[in-house]
């Protein structure tokens, strides 16, 4: 099958998608990237969606042609900008629990929580999780954040300063003319409020062939909370739109 490119969300990495990437690889090649300022990729002071889309375009071009793209949250916005600006590189698009709109809930509190960890005293990930628990109640998020911790070098593999400075861009969505007229699935968690009915007119303007589906019992982190159901939804969409 055509290669699949997976684009993680804010504070994530390609590593977060390892299980789903491995399972989907029975169809064909799967590429799970680390976006700029995340994981093992380069750091930059600029972190807008045009930047991220250009990075993804380079990856796809290096792979030799168009791909199917799965993008979650911030990665979903980057994938949408890629599809709108470089439609020849994207055949089908799955946008996981995000809409092409500006959000008002800041994610700065998590940067502050990570900054508050005394890395000099961290010998293993659980040490960092214990410190994060003071400011982050959810154990799932504690585990998620510590995946981006380099315990050996006692550093976050996230450019926290740049992400904090660019948070308005991350929460927003750039004004882009035109539309993407290939198949798109907006796959949301049924318990999430990230993709509301109010966003549908904007979505349909930019993505006329958009379809919508929800995974019962899942919130914003639908791929982690309901991995089997997420995988099944992805397979069904890709197989129906070959």
Return the active site residues. Answer: 73, 161, 220
Token pair in block for residue 103: 């959000």
At residue 181, the 3 state secondary structure works out as coil
Quick count: other Cβ atoms within 10 Å of Cβ 182? Answer: 16
Nearest C-alpha neighbor of 132 from the set 148, 114, 119, 147: 114
Which distant-in-sequence residues (6+ apart) come within 8 Å of 161 by Cβ? none
The answer to whether 4 and 30 are in contact (CB under 8 A) is yes
Distance CA 112, CA 119 (A): 14
Measured in whole angstroms, the distance separating CA 156 from the mean position of its chain's CA atoms is 18
**What strands lie across the sheet with 67-72, from one edge to the other?**
30-33, 4-7, 67-72, 90-96, 184-189, 210-215
How many Å apart are CA 33 and CA 203, to the nearest integer?
25
Q: How many angstroms separate the CA atoms of 33 and 63, rounded?
A: 12
Rounded to a whole number of angstroms, the distance between the first and last alpha carbons of the chain is 9
CB 11 within 8 A of CB 148: yes
């Amino acid at each position: 099958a055509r290669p699949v490119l997976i684009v993680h969300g804010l504070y994530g990495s390609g590593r977060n998608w390892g299980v789903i990437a491995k399972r989907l690889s029975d169809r064909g090649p799967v590429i799970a990237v680390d976006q700029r300022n995340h994981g093992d990729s380069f750091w930059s002071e600029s972190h807008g969606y045009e930047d991220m889309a250009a990075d993804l375009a380079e990856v796809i071009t290096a792979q030799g042609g168009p791909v199917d793209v799965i993008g979650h949250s911030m990665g979903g916005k980057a994938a949408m900008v890629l599809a709108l600006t470089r439609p020849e590189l994207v055949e089908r698009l799955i946008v996981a629990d995000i809409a092409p709109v500006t959000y008002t809930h800041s994610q700065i509190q998590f940067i502050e929580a990570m900054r508050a960890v005394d890395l000099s005293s961290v010998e293993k990930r659980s040490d960092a999780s214990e410190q994060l628990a003071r400011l982050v109640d959810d154990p799932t998020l504690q585990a998620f954040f510590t995946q981006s911790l380099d315990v050996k070098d006692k550093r976050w593999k996230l450019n926290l300063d740049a992400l904090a400075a660019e948070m308005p861009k991350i929460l927003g969505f750039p004004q882009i003319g035109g539309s993407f007229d290939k198949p798109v699935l907006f796959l949301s968690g049924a318990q999430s409020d990230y993709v509301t009915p109010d966003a549908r007119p904007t979505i349909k303007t930019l993505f006329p062939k958009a379809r919508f589906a929800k995974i019962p019992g899942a919130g914003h982190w639908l791929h982690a909370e309901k991995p089997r159901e997420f995988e099944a939804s992805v397979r069904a969409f890709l197989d129906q739109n070959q």
